Structure 1
Amino acid sequence: MPLVDMPLDKLKNYEGLNPRPDDFDVYWERALAEMRAVDPQIELVPSSFQVPYAECFDLYFTGVRDARIHAKYIRPKNVTEPHPAVLQFHGYTGHSGHWQDKLGYAALGFSFFSLDCRGQGGQSEDTGGVKGNTHHGHIIRGLDDHPDQLLFRHIYLDTAQLAAIAMQMPEVDPDRVMAMGGSQGGALTIACAALEPRIKKLAPVFPFLSDYRRVWQMDLAKDAYAELRTFFRHFDPQHKWEEEIFTKLGYIDIQHLASRIQGEVLFGIGLMDTICPPSTQFAVYNKISAEKRMEIYPDFGHEDLPGFADMTMQFFLEE
């Protein structure tokens, strides 16, 4: 098999390159305290899209830094007992998607929440000082400021806050809430389950936002990671502050959050992935101490992994 990264035996023992800040745990406890102090001001607005067996809502809540966050919410009709729920997270610069592709879970008796990341392609706000979306550059947003200003800090907190909101819904069983997503959505699935460890099961696929220094070392700071190269070229062209920059990125490096996960993990990976290199994904997986399994696709890259969506549904149905 051709290789784009390390051989598989080395990947299974790889622990990552990007620095972990000394105050990492304090940083995230402070962030969670800020999130918990926010009045979410939850609003449910019936959508114009409706189906006979479920109710569809636009859900709005206030996140950290006073951003108004949007998610699609679907709940099955005529289900009297608290039931499981699934949280879905989308890829970088994308949005929560169409209503119809979420209805399979509602038909099975699950509530379903799909988040719009702040400032990207959906309805959620980015309150960083401009109106409208900010779409790209989210990894480096706040990188030249205090670490508490990192935009992905706020996005990670939005995922945990949505999970807490879902768990408080009277129709949802808080002990059976699950999460899934690919690429950025895979990273947010990891972050959500780390910051809200009551997540029962999670199914991340080729997660983004991991092991930034390894991405740089592999000369793959392009495509989804292109802004890393742009940042160095514009703001540190001689790499005088490289260590400081990668250390600050360590606050939003999901490999350092992975050990907090308590839920059961189903992890999908393609070994030919040049967008989110396999080593950066194994850096995450190898730090998960909870029950886990990885489904490996040797000939696939950053693309649909055949059968994995079906595996995910079966995995969630076991609950």
Structure 2
Amino acid sequence: MALFDLPLDELRTYRSQSTEPEDFDAFWDKTLQQAREHQLDARFEPVETGLSTVEVYDVTFAGFGGHPVKGWLRLPAGATQPLPLIVEFIGYGGGRGLPHENLLWASTGRAHFAMDTRGQGSAWGGGGGTPDPVGAAPAYPGFMTRGVDAADNYYYRRVFTDAVRAVEAARSHPLTDAARTAVTGASQGGGIALAVGGLVPDLVAVAPDVPFLCDYPRAAVLTDRHPYREIGLFLKTHRGRSADVLRTLSYFDGVHFAARGRAPALFSAALEDQTCPPSTVFAAFNAWGHEDKGIEVYDFNDHEGGGPFQEAAQVRWLRSYA
């Protein structure tokens, strides 16, 4: 697929037409307050992996509704002092994987917490272990329309709340430095990182890679690739519901979280990306609230984005922050 979205000079000034709900902050304040009524109850169980340079802990903590959410905490072997902390969120359909996977961040001398995504972990990778015990109204197969009848019911309300609690859980371990916490993720994980960047005020850095879950009004009509296409297929059946669905989605739009970002940020976008079109990524980047921000642009890449090149860019960039 050749370039299909706006030219790069227009991307750099593009602004989303997504309408922010007037009660956006109140909605999320109430949601997180309700979640914190449950004890975090973060538990860290050491795992025997056969690795000599990294120690791994099987983590369980209370997320949305007090539901148990899984994760891995990876530490450089032999660490004795609190370490800078990277909390990572996973792409659509994936799970936390196996304990020996994803060793990059621990190999840089940081603590690395990878959150499982409730109800996912069956599409690729090493799997996941966190169910989603909450029911929902009729939805197109996938996650994009689960509970889309109302913001209170929407699937990503639970996921974003889990993610904020994941930061709290990771920070509770004695070998993590809460004052040096950064979040990252690619695709869906990047969208979750944006949400956390808007909801957790004291992060030192946010690094969303080709982020998903941004600028829903444009994404839903610009690309016919899944997962955004799930929205259109739902509306193909549920005729006349477009305004209601976009109203629900506006509470979860990365553009609105980005406007509340208070940490330095490094984004990435790929100009041939049909899964997360570059204009939707730039919509969040251009809205990001902290002046210290940058974006890596990969001219001829699809949703793989920068891949290992972006990882290398993140490692270099994070040296200044965490």
TM-score normalized with structure 2 length: 0.90
Deviation at 1:303, TM superposition (A): 0.8
Partner of 2:125: none
- 1:226 aligned residue (203, 225, 229): 229
Kept in 1: contact 2:86–2:183 (CA 8 A)? yes
Mapped to 1, the partners of 2:238 and 2:193 lie a distance apart of: 31
CA 1:36–1:106 in 2, change beyond 3 Å: closer, same or farther? same
Partner of 1:141: 146
Correspondence list, 1:168-247, <5 A: 168-218=172-222, 220-236=223-239, 240-247=240-247
Correspondence list, 1:257-272, <5 A: 257-272=257-272
Mapped to 2, the partners of 1:50 and 1:199 lie a distance apart of: 33
Deviations 1:131-172 (A, max 9, x none): xxx99532211112x311111011011111111122222211
Kept in 1: contact 2:214–2:255 (CA 8 A)? yes
Mapped to 1, the partners of 2:316 and 2:193 lie a distance apart of: 18
Partner of 2:14: 14
Unpaired segments of 5 or more residues in structure 1?
none
Mapped to 1, the partners of 2:88 and 2:314 lie a distance apart of: 12
Q: Identify the range of structure 1 (111-120 vs 224-233) with the bigger mean alpha-carbon deviation.
A: 224-233
Kept in 2: contact 1:50–1:56 (CA 8 A)? no
AA aligned to 2:168 is: A
Correspondence list, 1:150-165, <5 A: 150-165=154-169
Once superposed, which parts of structure 1, at least 4 consecutive aligned residues long, lie more than 6 Å away? none
Correspondence list, 1:5-44, <5 A: 5-44=5-44
Partner of 1:313: 315
Mapped to 2, the partners of 1:135 and 1:157 lie a distance apart of: 23
Mapped to 2, the partners of 1:50 and 1:56 lie a distance apart of: 10
Deviation at 1:44, TM superposition (A): 1.8
CA 1:251–1:106 in 2, change beyond 3 Å: closer, same or farther? same
Percent identity reads: 31
AA aligned to 2:48 is: S
Mapped to 2, the partners of 1:107 and 1:297 lie a distance apart of: 26
Mapped to 1, the partners of 2:189 and 2:69 lie a distance apart of: 16
Mapped to 2, the partners of 1:129 and 1:203 lie a distance apart of: 32
Classify the secondary structure of the residue corresponding to 2:102: helix
Deviation at 1:295, TM superposition (A): 0.8
Aligned length: 311
Unpaired segments of 5 or more residues in structure 2?
122-127
Correspondence list, 1:279-318, <5 A: 279-290=279-290, 291-305=292-306, 307-318=309-320
Partner of 1:124: 130
Deviations 1:227-277 (A, max 9, x none): 1022112222xxx23222211110111111112211211111111111111
Kept in 1: contact 2:55–2:74 (CA 8 A)? yes
TM-score normalized with structure 1 length: 0.91
Q: Is the aligned partner of 1:277 residue 2:270?
A: no
Classify the secondary structure of the residue corresponding to 2:93: coil
Classify the secondary structure of the residue corresponding to 2:227: helix
Deviations 1:87-113 (A, max 9, x none): 111110111234344334323321111
Classify the secondary structure of the residue corresponding to 1:260: coil
CA 1:183–1:135 in 2, change beyond 3 Å: closer, same or farther? farther
CA 1:317–1:97 in 2, change beyond 3 Å: closer, same or farther? farther
Classify the secondary structure of the residue corresponding to 1:18: coil
Classify the secondary structure of the residue corresponding to 1:283: helix
Kept in 2: contact 1:12–1:282 (CA 8 A)? yes
Deviation at 1:19, TM superposition (A): 2.3
Mapped to 1, the partners of 2:260 and 2:294 lie a distance apart of: 17
Kept in 2: contact 1:102–1:112 (CA 8 A)? no
Classify the secondary structure of the residue corresponding to 1:286: helix
Classify the secondary structure of the residue corresponding to 2:103: helix
CA 1:304–1:276 in 2, change beyond 3 Å: closer, same or farther? closer
Kept in 2: contact 1:160–1:193 (CA 8 A)? no
CA 1:308–1:150 in 2, change beyond 3 Å: closer, same or farther? same
